[in-house]
Amino acid sequence: MISSFLHSPSWSCRQICPDICDSALTLNLSGQIVKKIIDDEAGRIALFMFAANSLLFVPGTRPERFAKAKASGAGLTVIDLEDSVPPEDKHGARAAALVHIAENVEGWGLRINALATAAGVRDLTALLDAATLPPVLLLPMVEAAAEAELVAKLFGDRCPLLVPLVETPRGLRQAQAIAVAPRVGAIMFGGGDFAAELGVEMAWEPLLGARQALLLAAAEARVAAIDVPFVGLDDPDGLAAECGRAQALGFAAKAAIHPSQVPVIEQAFRPSAAQIAEAEAALAAFDAAGGRAVRHEGRMLEKPIIMKYRALLARSKGQIDA
- Between CA 209 and CA 241 the distance in angstroms is 18
Beta bridge partners of 253: 226
Per DSSP, 294 falls in state E
Q: What is the pLDDT of residue 47?
A: 40
Task: Answer yes or no: are the C-beta atoms of 258 and 57 closer than 8 Å.
Answer: no
What is the Cα Rg of the chain in Å? Answer: 19
- Between CA 178 and CA 148 the distance in angstroms is 7
Burial call 76-100: b when 16+ CB within 10 Å, e when fewer:
bbbbbbbebbeeeebeebbebbbeb
Give, in order, the Cα–Cα distances in Å from 83 to each of 28, 57, 94, 257. Answer: 33, 10, 13, 12
Per DSSP, 23 falls in state -
The one-digit pLDDT tens for each residue of the chain (322 residues) are 444 434 333 333 333 333 333 333 233 333 344 444 444 333 333 345 677 899 999 999 999 999 999 999 999 999 999 999 999 999 999 999 999 999 988 889 999 999 999 999 999 999 999 999 999 999 999 999 999 999 999 999 999 999 999 999 999 999 999 999 999 999 999 999 999 999 999 999 999 999 999 999 999 998 999 999 999 999 999 999 999 999 999 999 999 999 999 999 999 998 888 888 988 999 999 988 888 888 888 888 887 788 778 877 877 765 433 2
Assign 3-state DSSP to the chain and report helix, strand, coil percentages, each to 5. 50, 15, 35
Give, in order, the Cα–Cα distances in Å from 93 to each of 61, 82, 120, 133, 167. Answer: 5, 10, 13, 16, 23
Q: Which of 149, 137, 121 has the alpha carbon at shortest distance from 80?
A: 137
Sign of CA dihedral 200, 202, 206, 207: positive
Cβ neighbour number for residue 277 with a 10 Å cutoff: 11
3-class secondary structure, 170: helix
- Between CA 141 and CA 55 the distance in angstroms is 18
Task: Answer yes or no: are the C-beta atoms of 71 and 94 closer than 8 Å.
Answer: no
Cβ neighbour number for residue 64 with a 10 Å cutoff: 8
Q: Which of 320, 263, 258 has the alpha carbon at shortest distance from 84?
A: 258
